[in-house]
Amino acid sequence: MRSVAAFTFEQFHNKKNIGSTKIRIKNLMKYWNELHLYKYGEKPDVMIFQKVYRSGETFRSAAYTLPGEMGVPSILDICDADWLGQGAITKACFITETARMVDAVVTSTEALAEFIRQLTDKPVLCIPDRFVIDDFPTIKHHTAPLKKAVWFGYSHNAELLRYAIPAIERHNLDFTIISNDDPRLPFEYDFKLWNNASAYDIIQQHDIAILPKGTRPQDRFKSNNRPVQSILCGVPVATTADEVERYETASERNKSVLPLWQLYRKEYDVRKSVDEYKDLI
């Protein structure tokens, strides 16, 4: 197998502990010896650009290694519609230009793949977000009535919880938010800073995860990685008030989560992503 280097969102933006880089690249590195983080000046056999785009600020700059400049087969790996929304990355994200300058595009959802196929005639493949299964604790067996609920994710997405506040308060739930920053929402909750070493154990201490679906333009492209992580912790996911009601009893939570837990341990094993990437290359 040829040398494969990944130039990641973390590296390009000089950040640490970015969820997309961990899921899309670092998880794969555990089972893919040829995959490594790009080092400036090297010329690998294949390049993966993880959420690294041509943009207004960098389009003509020689200070960056960008898609189309390496002279080797290259792949753009994306898991968000970064050209939508209000984030800083969206200010000048040339997605069409970037897609045309690589040899293939990999996305985390089929909806995102379908959109990108309208912009390029290059191969576009959906490889879902997957995980190192050994990172998860053993499945939780629920025994108590519904009392503790959790939401986790980046703080700018926590605004979706506003729609769930009535259900949270009606059930008098002890609520926890695990995130990179306190979103300062107008209801009582316990905030915990996300830490890769402890997050799954904290999630598992709860009876349900409340993860409302979004209606923002970018939300239809988003990965299901948070519901998958919750199920792999043995914690069922409620996206609506009716589903919160459904999971009031421990028996219903156990009945719901067990078949999904068994399925997800097979379908969302990151080794499947490694195989799919190798087939693409």
Q: What is the pLDDT of residues 101-138, one digit of tens each?
A: 899 999 999 999 999 999 999 999 999 999 999 999 99
Q: What would the mean pLDDT of 63-80 be, rounded to a whole number?
A: 78
Per-residue pLDDT at 162 exceeds 90: yes
Per-residue pLDDT at 37 exceeds 60: yes
pLDDT at 250: 97
Tens digits of residue pLDDT in 186-236: 999 999 999 999 999 999 999 999 999 988 888 899 999 999 999 999 999
pLDDT at 66: 66
pTM: 0.91
pLDDT band at residue 67, thresholds of 50, 70 and 90?
Answer: low
Percent pLDDT > 90 in the chain is: 77
Tens digits of residue pLDDT in 244-273: 999 999 999 999 999 999 999 999 999 999
Please answer whether residues 67 and 74 qualify as being in contact, where contact means their C-beta atoms are separated by less than 8 angstroms: yes
pLDDT at 178: 98
More confident residue, 88 or 36: 36
Per-residue pLDDT at 92 exceeds 60: no
pLDDT band at residue 1, thresholds of 50, 70 and 90?
Answer: low
**Average pLDDT over all residues of the chain:** 91
pLDDT at 12: 87
More confident residue, 64 or 257: 257
pLDDT band at residue 61, thresholds of 50, 70 and 90?
Answer: very low
Q: How far is CA 265 from CA 28, 173, 234, 268, 279, in A?
A: 16, 29, 11, 6, 22
- Taking Cα atoms as reference points, which of 193, 169, 170, 189 lies closest to residue 180? 193
Q: What would the mean pLDDT of 10-36 be, rounded to a whole number?
A: 94
CA 114 to chain centre: 18
Q: Which two tokens stand for residue 7?
A: 């130039």
More confident residue, 59 or 101: 101
Q: What is the C-alpha separation between 48 and 30, in angstroms, rounded?
A: 16
